[in-house]
Amino acid sequence: MLHAIAFYVLSFFILGFAVLVISTRNTVHSVLYLVLNFLAIAALYVLLTAQFLAVIQVLVYAGGIVVLYLFVVMLVNLKRPPEDHSAPQRHAWIGFALAGVVLAELGGILVMGRVAPQPGPNMEMSDLALHNVERIGMLLYTDYLIPFELASMLLLVAMVGAIILAKREL
Amino acid sequence: MIDTYLIPLLKILFVLNATLIGVTYMVLLERKVIAWVQVRLGPMRVGPYGVLQPIADAVKLILKEDITPTRADKWVFTAAPIIVMVPALITFAVIPFGPVVNLFGRQVSLAITDVNVGLLYIVSVASIGVYGIILGGWASNSKFPLLASLRASAQLISYEVAVTMTLVSLIMTAGTLSMVGIVNSQDTHRVWFLFVQPVAFVLFFIGGLAETNRAPFDMAEAEQELTGGFHTEYSGMRFALFFLAEYANMIVVSSVATTLFLGGWLAPFSHVSWLAFLGYVPGWIWFLTKTFVFLYIFLWVRATLPRYRYDQLMRLGWKVLIPVAIANVVATGIVKVLLLR
Amino acid sequence: MLLSAALFIIGVTGVMLRRNIIIIFMSIELILNAVNINLIAFSYKLQNGVGQVFAIFVIAVAAAEAAGRAGYHPRVLSQ
């Protein structure tokens, strides 16, 4: 019961902040709403007993990526719209169509599978919930070792690339 | 029912109050210690030996006029000091102050809660604290604070990486992310992690100094630099919040270092039988003592070392601390694998 | 699941309708997070750790992308 209330309250905040992100005039405020959005999502992850991911979300997403955005926003005051972006009104319908397809799919799954936003199978903490870090660690290093290494390489490449890009303009 | 709600609530109230009082008296402690190092007496007028000085400071700051710069972003301007203070305070939710004690017939553990990702929680909360500094500089709508805040936040995020890498090797040693688990692990290994991971200890301490903007890394707030840094435009209670948040951060780093390296609430030599009388001192007194030692070292360092220049600071963080931290992780891994045979 | 779909839609709307490039990037982040929420929800429901592992990779990829973008910006906007 409390679980469901918390879920709905959090969902309200998540969606609310997301709407605010794309609708605020002020770019800095938009970034701040994004941070609040991520924090609410992290809280949701805790509710869904994915504690490790919740903390990673705060650490990497809210604490790292958005700080990057904030730097970019502050150092470069983007007042003029970029020239290479085509007029949005003509192509918006593609995006809406795609979103509609996604919604239809999910609705279909809901109806046919009768999956509803209820609390999980049993309310007692399962093994995955209690030993969250250990289980994820085991999975990462045994079954999913290759994607793990690939992700590390990806991050390395991104780091080096970012440095090269930034250096060349000095 | 009572157990799940009332007891944590009482614990939270207690810890918050203790922290806030501690933070206010840190102000006095700092001035006293630095004064003694410099062979003078520090605040002596207010109260006996200057003990009531923080109260005088608090009254002064509260009564000051609360200026908001024109064309400053009001919401962000108000929120920035709060964003710096809150992460410092909520870190205390996972720090274990003592073992499980028997209060009024209930088993009460002297930590507000034990999250199974406690250490990572602390690091992530620290990375939220960076926002307050960036926003403080931005919301002031004036050039000096903005530049200073960007420099300070760059310093913070650089050292965040170094500190996180250091903590990785510590996690490998302890085998768990939960703070209570780390203290218990030091208990079962019968040795404080200070002796197992001396390199990590030094790295963590230096990183902690840089993370809290303390000397010798206090470029961001030194009075001679950029006219006062990112809190130039703040006056009265808002400035007080920034100021106190810095001390709260210091206490947080000291508490975390105590838990990780000095064995939290464990008495020293707890497994040597003829020193067992040390076990009669309650755990939380040991914890406070060790944290106090750390705080004293913080103040001692401030009184002694000259300030780093900004580029020297960044060079130290990226070119020295991070490679050493990574080497430490590798070394820890090798030792652990060898020991498992 | 409905939540992640709603978030996804909001993100797509943001990408389509705002011309400010920063906000477009942030909407992309919203979309990525919507996907993550979906993954975690399924992981919770099925009590399987795979969803969380995949979500970690999604976050890593998003971080790499943001880093690359941050390196790109000073160059583009200095012209």
Backbone angles phi, psi at B240, to 5 degrees: -60, -40
Q: Is the dihedral of CA B12, B15, B18, B22 positive or negative?
A: negative
Least confident residue range of B110-114, B298-302, C63-67: B110-114
Indicate whether B35 pLDDT > 70: yes
Q: Which of A52, A62, A131 sits opposite B128 (nearest CB)?
A: A62
User: What are the beta bridge partners of residue B109?
Assistant: B100
Contact (CB, 8 A) for A15 and C6: yes
Q: Where are the alpha helices (DSSP H) in B262-309?
A: 283-304
The answer to whether the CB of C59 falls within 8 A of the CB of C36 is yes
Residue A57 pLDDT grade (very low, low, confident, very high; cuts 50, 70, 90): confident
CB nearest to B117's CB, from A35, A52, A75: A52
Chain A interface test: which of B115, B119, B124 (most A C-beta within 10 Å): B124
pLDDT of residue A82: 42
Residue B116 with chain A: CB contacts under 8 Å: 51, 130-133
Q: Which two tokens stand for residue B296?
A: 């004293």
Class of domain A1-77: mainly alpha
Report which of B118, B124, B226 is spatially closest to residue B171, judged by C-alpha positions.
B118
Q: For residue range C5-62, list pLDDT tens digits in order.
A: 566 666 655 565 565 666 777 777 777 777 777 777 777 766 666 777 777 788 888 8
Q: Identify whether the C-beta of residue B290 lies closer than 8 Å to the C-beta of residue B268.
A: no
Residues of A in contact with B115 (CB under 8 A): 51
Q: Kindly tell me if the per-residue pLDDT of A84 is higher than 50.
A: no
Asked which of B303-307, B330-334, C54-58, C71-75 is least confident by mean pLDDT, the reply is C71-75
Q: Give the A:C interface size as CB pairs under 8 Å.
A: 206
Using a CB-CB distance cutoff of 8 angstroms, which residues of chain B are in contact with residue A133? 116-117, 177
**Residue B57 pLDDT grade (very low, low, confident, very high; cuts 50, 70, 90):** confident
- Position B161 scores a pLDDT of 85
Say how far apart CA B321 and CA B203 lie, in whole Å.
Answer: 7
The DSSP secondary-structure symbol of B107 reads E
Cβ-contact C9, A15 below 8 angstroms: no
> Locate tokens 């400071």: which residue?
B57
Query: What is the Cα gyration radius of chain A?
Result: 20
Map tokens 């699941």 to a residue: C1
B56-65, B195-204, B314-323: least confidently modelled range:
B56-65
Residue B107 pLDDT level (bands cut at 50, 70, 90): low
Whether B82 contacts B241, CB under 8 Å: yes
C15 CB burial (10 A radius; 0-12, 13-18, 19+) = buried
**CB half-sphere exposure, B201, CA atoms < 13 A:** 14
pLDDT at C79 (0 to 100): 45
Least confidently predicted of A88-102, B168-182, B323-337? A88-102
pLDDT band at A137; cut points 50, 70, 90: confident
Backbone angles phi, psi at B108, to 5 degrees: -120, 125
- For residue B32, the model assigns a pLDDT of 83
Looking at per-residue confidence, does B281 or A59 come out higher?
Answer: A59
| Collapsed DSSP state (helix, strand, coil) of residue B158 | helix
Query: What pLDDT is attached to residue A83?
Result: 40
Rounded distance, CA B170 to CA B162, Å? 13
- Please state, in angstroms and rounded to a whole number, the distance separating the CA atoms of residues C22 and C60: 20
Q: Which residue would you say has higher pLDDT here, B3 or B255?
A: B255
**Cα–chain center distance at B211:** 8
What pTM value is reported for the model? 0.81
Mean pLDDT of A135-145: 73
- The CA distance from B82 to A132, in Å, is 32
Rounded Cα distance, B129 and B147, in Å: 18
At A32 the pLDDT is 84
Query: Between the CA of residue B69 and those of A66, B75, B142, what are the distances in Å?
Result: 26, 12, 9
Are A68 and C66 in contact (CB < 8 Å)? yes
- Using only C-alpha atoms, chain C has a radius of gyration, in whole angstroms, of 15
Residue A10 banded pLDDT, cuts 50, 70, 90? confident
The alpha-carbon gap from C19 to the nearest alpha carbon of chain A, in Å, equals: 6
- As a whole number, the mean pLDDT across chain A is 71
Q: Which residues pair with B107 in a beta bridge?
A: B102
How many other CB atoms are found less than 10 A from the CB of residue A158?
Answer: 21
pLDDT recorded at residue C74: 60
Rg (CA), chain B: 21
Alpha helices in A24-87 (DSSP H): 27-47, 51-56, 66-75
Residues 6+ apart with CB under 8 A from A140: A148, C53, C56
| pLDDT attached to residue B312 | 82
- Cα(B229)–Cα(B232) distance, integer angstroms: 6
In the structure, what pLDDT confidence band is assigned to residue B314 with cuts at 50, 70 and 90? confident
Q: Is the pLDDT of residue A119 over 80?
A: no
User: Residue ranges per domain, chain A?
Assistant: 1-77, 133-170
Could you give phi then psi for residue B72, rounded to 5 degrees?
-90, 150
With beta carbons under 8 A apart, name residues in chain A contacting C40.
44-45, 48, 50, 53
Q: Are C29 and A65 in contact (CB under 8 A)?
A: yes
Q: What is the mean pLDDT of residues B27-33?
A: 83
**DSSP sequence for B172-239:** HHH--SSHHHHHHHHHHHTS-HHHH-HHHHHHHHHHHHHHTT-TTS-TTT-TTSGGGGGGTT--HHHH
Most confident of the ranges B54-58, B72-76, B83-87, B174-178: B83-87
The mean pLDDT value for B179-207 works out to 82
Alpha-carbon separation of residue A79 from A112, B292, C22 (angstroms): 48, 50, 11
Q: Which residues pair with B110 in a beta bridge?
A: B98
Within a 13 Å sphere around the CA of B47, how many CA atoms are in the beta-carbon half?
A: 11
pLDDT digits (tens, 9 = 90+) for B121-168: 888 888 888 888 888 777 776 667 777 777 788 888 888 888 888 888
* ipTM value: 0.80
| Mean pLDDT, residues A59-70 | 83
